[in-house]
Amino acid sequence: MLITFSEHFALPVEEVFSYFASPADWVRLYGSAGVRDLGLGWYAVAIKGFPFPLVAKSTVVEPGRLVRWTFRGFWRGEGEIRLTPSPGSVLLEGYERAGVRWLFFLSPIVERLLLESRFRKMWELGWRRLHKRELSRTPETSGNPTAESPAA
């Protein structure tokens, strides 16, 4: 299955990048039942609604610009986000290609019927959280990506 996306956020590029810097950071975006460091840059990210954790590793990290990752274990695939900053905002574009490793020719059927909607909902949850983050920012905190507004 291939999921592509293009989202615009009124947030500093550094703040958006911080959600993707490594698979361990994904829990801030998607929620999680936990993250386990497997060593050598690999993380097992247990995501609610998925039968097995996403075991992932960042393969390319260019801070504020690009992150690529790969999966292993139950899942096979890769993904990428590209960040294009503009004053006070960022365009996030990319893709995630994921499938079930051991199902071979049945994998596309299982992906379409059982998994694709879950992956799409996971990404949509992340986008909602980032858009909610936009709304929680005040003029006083807009220059500081770690500051929290009183309403947050």
The model's pLDDT over 33-56, given as tens digits with 9 standing for 90+, comes to 689 999 999 999 988 777 788 899
Query: What fold is seen in the domain 2-136?
Result: Alpha-D-Glucose-1,6-Bisphosphate; Chain A, domain 4 (3.30.530)
CA–CA dist 121, 102 (Å, integer): 24
Across 101-127, average pLDDT = 74
Average pLDDT of the chain to the nearest whole number: 84
| Residue 110: pLDDT band with limits 50, 70, 90 | low
| Residue 151: pLDDT band with limits 50, 70, 90 | very low
pTM of this structure: 0.79
The model's pLDDT over 76-105, given as tens digits with 9 standing for 90+, comes to 899 999 999 988 899 999 999 987 766 667
Quick one: pLDDT at residue 101? 66
Going from N- to C-terminal start, the domains of the chain cover 2-136
Highest mean pLDDT among 67-81, 104-118, 125-139: 67-81
CA–CA dist 38, 113 (Å, integer): 30
Quick one: pLDDT at residue 152? 36
Quick one: pLDDT at residue 37? 96
Across 110-124, average pLDDT = 76
